[in-house]
Amino acid sequence: MKLGLTSSAPWAVSFCYQASLTQASRILGRLQMKSMDSDYSLGSLEGLSAFRSLEELILDNNLLGDDLVLPGLPQLHTLTLNKNRITDLEPLLDHLAEVTPALEYLSLLGNVACPNELVSLEKDEEDYKRYRCFVLHKLPNLKFLDARKVTRQERKEALVRGAFMKVVKPKASSGDLAASASPEMHHYTPLPSASRELTSHRGVLGKCRYVYYGKNSEGNRFIRDDQL
């Protein structure tokens, strides 16, 4: 286990560690820690309950998913969960509203639950605006969301339309699951299977019942009669 500790005052302690929270809590649980920063592939927050005095919690670049559970952190005002595995937005926001009542800064960039071009090129600015509106509806005390300050206009819109901005997480059907399990679906090609191998150089022929008379050819407009 590697654990680094820095402190400028007894009430302001931050650390980065290469260990589980449970291991860290055994060593530092008695300290009134105010700030914690971990980006070492955490998949669980077990042991975090030993640090209920936290005001800032940085959990970027971990493996935290939709089963994320925080203990009650009444003083926490800053929480970043960038680049994790969070896909379902509403349960997370409901949980944060319950356990982090003082939260003012939240960042979810790099998660599927935060729709923008960092996650998918299919998402655009309108998707992100709807996401912000819904988050502010659920957490109206936020001052910053992701990398942007919350504006007065966003607050007004969240009050009026926020409840209708919910994005429902699609459920995978049995057909979708079967398709994703098929290896051919991951490498789609319009060519026949006989022409897919790089070592196969055989041509592929076909027939059709179409007769071309040349009546609609655009090229014929530029040929004079004496040139025929």
Mean pLDDT of the chain: 76
**SS3 (DSSP) at 201:** coil
CB 107 within 8 A of CB 113: no
Q: For the sheet with 56-58, list strands across it.
A: 35-37, 56-58, 78-80, 105-107, 144-145, 148-149
Dump pLDDT digits (tens) for 202-220.
565 666 665 656 555 555 5
Single pTM value for the model: 0.66
Spatial neighbors of 70 by CB under 8 A, at least 6 apart, are: 45, 48, 95, 96, 99, 100
The model's pLDDT over 148-162, given as tens digits with 9 standing for 90+, comes to 999 999 999 999 998
Cβ atoms of residues 145 and 135 within 8 Å? yes
* 81 burial via Cβ count (<10 Å: 0-12, 13-18, 19+): buried
Rounded Cα–Cα distance for residues 62 and 170 (Å): 24
In this structure, the chain runs to a length of 228
Give pLDDT tens digits for 7-58: 444 444 444 444 556 555 655 555 677 888 876 677 788 888 888 889 999 9
